[in-house]
Structure 1
Amino acid sequence: MRRYLPVARQHFLAALAGTSVVVKSLSAAVVLLYLLSFGLDTTYGLGVTPGYLLPPNFWVWTLLTHGLVEERAWGLAASLATLGAAGRLLEPLWGALELLVFFAVVNISVGLLGAFAYFLTYVASFHLGSLFAVRIHGGLGFLGGVLVALKQTMGDSTVLKVPQVRMKAVPMLLLLVLALLRLAALVESNVLASYGFGLLSSWVYLRFYQRHSRGRGDMSDHFAFATFFPEILQPVVGLVANVVHSVLVKVRLCRKTVKRYDVGAPSSITISLPGTDPQDAERRRAAGPEGFERAAEASGGPVSLAQHGG
C-alpha cells in the first residue's frame, strides 16, 4: 500500500495544479481539518449535529463546515478526489465562482435536509440519539452533487467497459451500493443520508436555479428526474415527479416550464426549453472532456454550461 501512496500523491498534485485557488483552498482545508482530528473532535464543533442546529443552539456555521470534516483516511481520499474531479471537469465549464456556489448550495442543503430527517426520526421514536448522537460530516454529499453534474454534462460517456457503465448511471449505482452497505451495518446512517441528500439538492439546483447565459436551470429531457432510474421504472417515476413538480409550482418553490416557439421559418416550428441549446445532442455524443474541448473549438469559444444542457 505504501508504494502506491507517492504515485497517488503525484497524480493528485498534478490534477490540482491546473485548478483555481477555490479548489486548492478547499482541498487544503480538508487536509488541515483531517490532521486536526487526531487531537480534536472536529465533528463535534464543525459537523452538523441535528439537536444543536435546532433552536435554541443554532450552530448554523456547521452548515458551511461539515462538508470539509473528515476523520478517516478513505473519507479524506474521497473528498480530495471529488474536489480534484470538480476542478478538472466542472470548473472549466462553470468558472471558479460558480463551482464555489455549487459547493456551498449542496453542503448547506445536505446539512439542513439531514438535520430535518433526523428530527423527524426523533419525532417518530423519541430517541434522543437521533438529535445529539448523529454527526453529519464529510464530502459524500458533494460527491453526490458532482456525480449529478457530470451526468448532466457527460452522461453518455463510458466510465467502465466491462460491464459497460455510463456516467449517467453512476449516481444511482453508488446510492444502491451505499444502501446495501447500510443494510449490512457496514456504514453509518449519516453516510447514506449525506450522499442521498447531495444527489437530490444538486439536481434541484441544476434543474431549476443555476444561472447561465441562456437563463436559469436545465429543463432538457436528458436531465429529467426519471432519467436517474432504470428505463423500466422511468414512466412511473416520471408521473410521480410531474405531480410533485406541479405542487411545487403552485406553492411557488419551482418555476413553471416555459416553452419558446420559433416561427421564423414558414416550414417548421422550433420548440426549445430554458437551459437547452440546439447543439446539445451533438455535444452529449462527444464523450468526455475531450469531446467538450472539440465542441468549443468548433464553436469558436469556450463551452459554457448552457451549451451542453445546463
Structure 2
Amino acid sequence: MPPRLNIPPITRILLIALVSQSLLSFAIRYRQWSEESDIVVPYIALVPQLSLIYPWTFLTTTLVENNVFTLGISGVTIFYGGRYLERAWTSTEFAKFLLITALTPNALCFGTLVILFAATGDMSWTLTTINGTVPLQISFLVAFSQLVPAHTVTLFRGIVSLRVPRFPLLHILGVSLLSLTPLLSVASFLLATSGFLTSWIYLRFYKPAFPDLDTAQSSLRGDASETFAFAEFFPDPVKPFVSSFSDQVYNVLVSLRICSPFSAADVSASRGDTFMQRGTPGSARAEAERRRALALKALDQRLHAATAGSSKSQPPPPATGPSVQVQPQPNVQTPQAMLGETTYVPEREGEGSH
C-alpha cells in the first residue's frame, strides 16, 4: 500500500477548499463563457462592484484560482508551506495567521480599487476580480524569513544562492511581471504588496511568542530580533535608506499607539539571552541540545582532570581489556529550510537594523 500523506487538519481544509472552489468557478465560467464579455462569479470571488452583498467572498476569494498554472502553484505552496508552518505554530496559531493574511490584503485591495475608480472614473477598476492565493504565498515566505533567516537556498547546482529573506521581494517582482500577462490581474500585485506588509507587521509586533523550556514569559508578542527587521528583506546597498525610513514609520505608529514599542526585555529575549528566537520551530529542542552539549563538555573536562590527578598519585593498573573512551560530543544541528538544498550562514555581529 502507498504511504499515507500526513497532512495537518488546517492545511488539509485549505487544499480541499482550493481545489473545490477553483473547479466550481471554472465550471460556472465555462458554461456562461462568451466572446463578447468576461465572466465573473461574484458570489465566490471578490468583485468590488458586485460582491458587497456576498460578504463571505472577502475570505473565500483567496482560495479561488482562474487557471491550471496558478492552481498548481497554489496547491504546492499550501501543501509544503502549510504543513511546515502548522506544525511549527500549532493549528490554532496557523489558522489565525491565515485569517489575518487573507482578509486584510483582500480588504486593502478592495479599497484601493474603489479609490482608483473614484479618481479616474474608469469602471473597469471596480470590475477587477480580486482572487488567488498570492497573499498567502508571500505571507508564507515572510514567515520562513522569520523562522530560518540565516539559511540560504542553493539552486541550479550552486549557480544561484539566495538567503531566505530575499524571496518575498522576488515573489513581488514575479507577480508584477505576471500581472502584465493574462495569467494574473493588477489586483494580484496589490495583493502581493499588501500581503507582504500585513504578514510582516503581524509577525513583528502582534503574533504571540512561544517561550522555550520552562520560562513563564508567555505574554511576549512579536519578534524584536534584528534578523527580522524590515530592512533585512532588501539588498545590502539600500538597507540603510530602508532602515531610516522604516524607523520613522515605526516612531509614528508608536506615537499613534498602533504599535507597542519593544522593551529591553523583548530585545534581550530576541537575541537569545532568555530563550531562543521566538516562534522558531524546534527552538526549545535546539536550546536543550545546546545546553546538553555544554554539560557533556564540562563533564568530559572534569573526567579528564580527575583521571590525570589519579594517574599521578597512583600507579596505573595492569591493562585487562580495551580502554574505555569518553563518548564523543553530539553535534547540535540547526533545522534546514524547506525546498532545495540549504546551508547555514550565521549573521555577523553588528549586522541588521531596527
Contact 2:102 2:135 in 1 (8 A): yes
Match of 2:105 among 110, 113, 124: 110
Partner residue of 1:48? 46
More helix by share: 1
TM-score by length of 1: 0.77
Structure of higher CA gyration radius: 2
CA distance in 1, matches of 2:18, 2:136: 13
Assess, with a 3 A threshold, how the Cα gap between structure 1 residues 35 and 241 changes in structure 2: closer, same or farther.
same
Q: How does 1:82-101 map to 2 (within 5 A)?
A: 82-101=77-96
Equivalent residue number for residue 193 of structure 1: 190
Aligned to 1:267: none
Name the CA distance, whole Å, in 2 between partners of 1:87 and 1:98: 12
The residue aligned with 1:298 is: 289
Which consecutive residues of structure 1, in runs of 5 or more, have no partner in the other structure? 1-9, 262-270, 304-310
Residue of structure 1 equivalent to 2:164: 167
Alignment counterpart, residue 74 of structure 2, candidates 53, 76, 79:
79
5 Å matches for 1:273-292? 277-278=272-273, 280=276
Residue in 1 aligned with 2:268? 272
Q: Taking structure 1 as reference, are residues 111 and 23 closer, same or farther at Cα in structure 2, changes over 3 Å only?
A: same
Q: Please say if residues 208 and 218 of structure 1, whose CA atoms lie closer than 8 Å, have aligned partners that are also in contact.
A: yes
Gap change, CA 1:50 and 1:277, over 3 Å in 2: farther
- Tell whether the 8 Å contact from 2:106 to 2:130 is kept in structure 1 after alignment: yes
Decide which of 230, 234, 251 is 2:239's aligned counterpart: 234
User: Which residue is equivalent to 2:134?
Assistant: 140
Structure 1 residue corresponding to 2:120, chosen from 125, 145, 160: 125
Deviation at 1:38, TM superposition (A): 3.0
Contact 1:78 1:139 in 2 (8 A): no
Contact 2:48 2:128 (C-alpha < 8 Å) held by counterparts: yes
* Per-residue deviation, residues 201-259 of structure 1 (Å, max 9, x unmatched): 11011011101234111111111111111111111111111111111112221111211
1:243 pairs with 2:243:
no
Does the residue aligned with 2:46 lie in a helix, a strand or coil?
Answer: coil
- Identity percentage over the alignment? 28
Contact residue 8 and residue 83 of structure 2 kept, 8 A: no
Of 41-50 and 164-173, the range deviating more from structure 2 = 41-50
Matched, 1:222 2:227: yes
| Equivalent pair of 1:218/1:276 in contact (CA under 8 Å) | no
What is the TM-score with the length of structure 2 in the denominator?
Answer: 0.68
Matches of 1:197 and 1:43, distance apart in 2: 23
Q: Name the CA distance, whole Å, in 2 between partners of 1:75 and 1:180.
A: 14
**Equivalent residue pairs, number:** 268
Residues of 2 paired with 1:184 and 1:33: CA distance? 23
Question: Do 2:141 and 2:168's aligned partners in 1 also have CA atoms closer than 8 Å?
Answer: yes
Stretch of structure 1 that moved more, 251-260 or 223-232: 251-260
SS of residue in 2 equivalent to 1:107: helix
Amino acid paired to 1:244: V
Relative to structure 2, which stretch is displaced further, 155-164 or 90-99?
155-164
Listed as ranges, the gaps of 5+ residues in structure 2 are 30-39, 211-216, 292-333, 335-354
- Verify the 8 A CA contact 2:63 2:133 in the aligned structure 1: yes
Partner of 2:27 in structure 1?
39
Distance 1:165 1:134 in 2: 34
* Residues 10, 86 of structure 2: 8 Å contact kept: no
Answer yes or no: is the 8 Å Cα contact 2:230–2:243 preserved in 1.
Answer: yes
